[in-house]
Amino acid sequence: MLHQIVYRWDPDGLLGRRGVVPVATSLGRDEVFGWHTRTRLAEAVTVDYGDPACPASSMCLLDTPLGVALIRREFAPDAHQRLNNSAHVLVGPRDSIAPFDAIAWGSLATRAPGALDLDRIPPGYGLKPLADERLAEAFEIAAGDLHERARRLGDPLEVLTAAVLRRPRARVALLPATAEDATVLLWGLQHLLTALLPGPWTFSTFEVDDTAPDPKGAPRFVTLPRVPGTAPGTRARVDLTGNGEPFDAHRELARRMVKHYVGEGWAGFHRLLNTPTEVHTLPEATRVEAIRSRLDGLAPRPEPRARPREQPRRTSPDSPGSPGEPVEPPHEGTREMPRTPPTPTASATSSTAAPTAGPVDSNRAVVRCPYCLDLVRWDENDLYERDDRLRYERVDLSTVTDPVKRHDRMRATFMRCPNPTGDEEREHFLPTNYLIHEPPLVVGLIGDGLSGKTHLLAAMIAEIDAGGLRPYGVTHQPVDPAQHQDYLHNRVDPLQRGHMLATTVNHQGNLVQFADALLLRSGGRSRPIAFFDVSGEDLARGGREMQFLAAADAFVFVVDPVVAVDLPELRRLTGEAEDMPGTRRGDRTFAAVMDRLPRRAELLDQPVTVAVTKSDLIRFEPPVDAWLGSHAPRAGVVDPARVAAESRDVYSFLYAHDAAAWLSPFEEFRRCTMHFVSATGARDRDGRFPGGIRPRRVLEPVVAILAMCDMLDQAGSERVGV
């Protein structure tokens, strides 16, 4: 938790002093007194009081002997048209406020999660602490916009980066710059050099002078609205216009770095940013050359082995084919243009139906039963309803002729699968809504036991149930209303109340049934979509109960970054810091599933997505930060180029962090998209999410699958995933 202090003008304040002083807080009096007198907090709040150049708001991050302090200052004329100063201050332990979170929270000003109306806060000690999650929430809201704005300030960012590379330990004054531009430039600089600079990484987006010697704990980067009239101070001043800045080796290196940042090559640039050697530790003579060599290492990765009679596929984010670069037309026989259309799956085939038992409606489409894999048609003479004890009871609807009553009864009925081959001893039933529309779309979630499949599916269903697909022209209703309500009650509702969900139960020896199924309607069409969430142990073992895999039309492969990605902060979560890069073999369920699928060609035909779940744990890592906080430019419109850009970034991120073993779905399936997602938006604490959950981009995999399965009435859908 972060404690709060509100500063504004008061004749005595909490400390009995006149001026811009603490007036409200969640701390005790002694603690407030300590922060106000033993740190630079008071000076940081009041340093620019009364200056006409003050912006509407600015922010400052301080590293002090008592911890870290994030200050958002507000400047406005008072009743006498004199400039008034107030501030909202968050304080906490040194590792409680990350620079990225600080920039995002401050940039949102009064729209920031947890922001206060400083003029209306009652004085006293009654403020409540602010939950840490509010800063993470601010990051998710602001990250995409800040990243895009930083990429538009390439020239000043290049000048600033060169200056910092030139003197990596120096305290820097930026001029001239507005507080808004400074915020964006500091965001970009943090991206480019956060892993390469010595700490602490502190800043102020508005100061009036840099000529006085910096007191201990002063911000490392400060922004000046104009050049001070006195002699140069102790800081390294950087003219962001570039005037007088040398064009040396550091500037040339900065130009290359910023080119990666603002261009399409950003996806692979994080391999340089995460280098363990900091710039300031390198000798001056070798510093530039060392970073340049790492930039040279961003050359395209070796291509995956070519398929027989196919051209090698491009997989490197820096290879030709990135948006904005001319590409040659795909050759026939490659992934981009298959030699022949994908062979229809059995669930979409109506001319090869096996004989079924009893009278059937020959006008109905043939459906493959996901439990016994037999092909069946709907039979009105073999319908059942479930009673209160979940037992199936035979029902005869032949006498129900009223269309309204008949529809209402039919929506809750089931047909007993006739299992024409007779090879399944277990009796099983299919919902009527599963059989009387277009052939169902069966989607399997694939991943190990702790990968986050269960939370991801619950977040997906919650978003769909809340109308998340409506912008795409897709509406829904339950296939089995009772089962859907059970899923909402047992999975969705607890998750939304902040409870962790139990892992999926083991189905060994039992009939595996879909977790939930929805009837989707789009462009005059109706098609059920059924989601199977099976335990990782079952998937890896691959017993007969997993035969639904052969009937699946699409898959979501779930990648757990805690296991897959080679980052020290993630290894600490598992206690496996001794696990060296390159020794991990990938998710065992991925190979087990792909080995089980019927293969008619070198590439499997089912469309798939790869979802890097728990992405909130790596939200500061590029390019995760840019995607996790981003939104599509046009709501409800699928942009194949944008989907391809994210897939390229995910591939590059996993490859760069020694997670190549988790890329097998991309190599084995003809159509594949890749996404950064987060089902909860935060880490749990003792089995709960105390700040609630904030799902991020959980519908992206679903939308991609619908596009690849021709379920969206939008031009360009056929290019998604190729």
CA–CA distance from 568 to each of 275, 552, 565 (Å)?
A: 12, 37, 9
Smallest Cα–Cα separation from 441: which of 348, 533, 350? 348
Q: Are residues 177 and 119 located together in one domain of the fold?
A: no
Please compute the mean of the pLDDT values over residues 216-231 and round it to a whole number: 83
Is 204 within a domain?
A: no
Domain boundary among 386, 402, 434: 434
Is 347 within a domain?
A: no
Backbone φ and ψ of 75, nearest 5°: -125, 125
Q: Are residues 444 and 429 located together in one domain of the fold?
A: no
Q: Which of 71-75, 265-269, 445-449, 550-554 has the lowest mean pLDDT?
A: 265-269
Q: Are residues 170 and 247 located together in one domain of the fold?
A: yes
Residue 177: CB partners within 8 Å, gap ≥ 6? 156, 185, 223, 224, 225, 240
Q: Are residues 174 and 97 located together in one domain of the fold?
A: no
Is 43 within a domain?
A: yes
**The pLDDT of residue 580 is above 50:** no
Residues 258 and 440: their CA atoms lie apart, in Å, by: 48
Smallest Cα–Cα separation from 444: which of 562, 559, 558, 614? 558
| Torsion angle defined by CA atoms of residues 432, 437, 443 and 449, in that order, rounded to the nearest 10 degrees | -10
Contact between residue 490 and residue 447 where contact means Cβ atoms under 8 Å apart: no
Q: What is the pLDDT of residue 339?
A: 31
Is 100 within a domain?
A: yes
Q: Are residues 465 and 418 located together in one domain of the fold?
A: no
Is 54 within a domain?
A: yes
**The pLDDT of residue 307 is above 60:** no
Average pLDDT, the chain: 81
Q: What is the pLDDT of residue 575?
A: 54
Residue 468: CB partners within 8 Å, gap ≥ 6? 699
Is 211 within a domain?
A: no
Q: Are residues 258 and 281 located together in one domain of the fold?
A: yes
Range of the domain at 128: 1-140
Residue 661: CB partners within 8 Å, gap ≥ 6? 564, 584, 585, 586, 587
Amino acid at 255: R
Q: Which of 110-114, 416-420, 685-689, 702-706 has the lowest mean pLDDT?
A: 685-689
The DSSP string of 422-486 is ----S--EEEHHHHSSSPPEEEEEE--TTSSHHHHHHHHHHHHHTTTTGGGTEEEEESSHHHHHH
Q: Are residues 131 and 159 located together in one domain of the fold?
A: no
Is 672 within a domain?
A: yes
Give the total number of structural domains in the chain.
Answer: 4
Q: What is the pLDDT of residue 542?
A: 67
Domain boundary among 89, 106, 140: 140
Place of tokens 């109506």: 350
Q: Are residues 63 and 36 located together in one domain of the fold?
A: yes
Is 147 within a domain?
A: no
CATH number at residue 605: 3.40.50.300
Residue 591 burial (CB count, 10 A)? 16
Domain boundary among 90, 111, 140: 140
Q: Are residues 180 and 265 located together in one domain of the fold?
A: yes
Contact between residue 279 and residue 241 where contact means Cβ atoms under 8 Å apart: no
Q: What is the pLDDT of residue 184?
A: 92
**The pLDDT of residue 527 is above 80:** yes
Q: Are residues 256 and 112 located together in one domain of the fold?
A: no
Q: What is the pLDDT of residue 570?
A: 79
Angle, CA of 571, 575 and 580, to the nearest 5° = 50
Q: Are residues 133 and 254 located together in one domain of the fold?
A: no
The band of 292, judged by pLDDT with boundaries at 50, 70 and 90, is confident
Smallest Cα–Cα separation from 313: which of 291, 335, 330? 335
Residues 641 and 212: their CA atoms lie apart, in Å, by: 52
Smallest Cα–Cα separation from 44: which of 184, 222, 169, 183? 222
Q: Are residues 89 and 237 located together in one domain of the fold?
A: no
Tokens of 45: 């709040």
pLDDT tens for 459-475 read 999 999 999 999 999 99
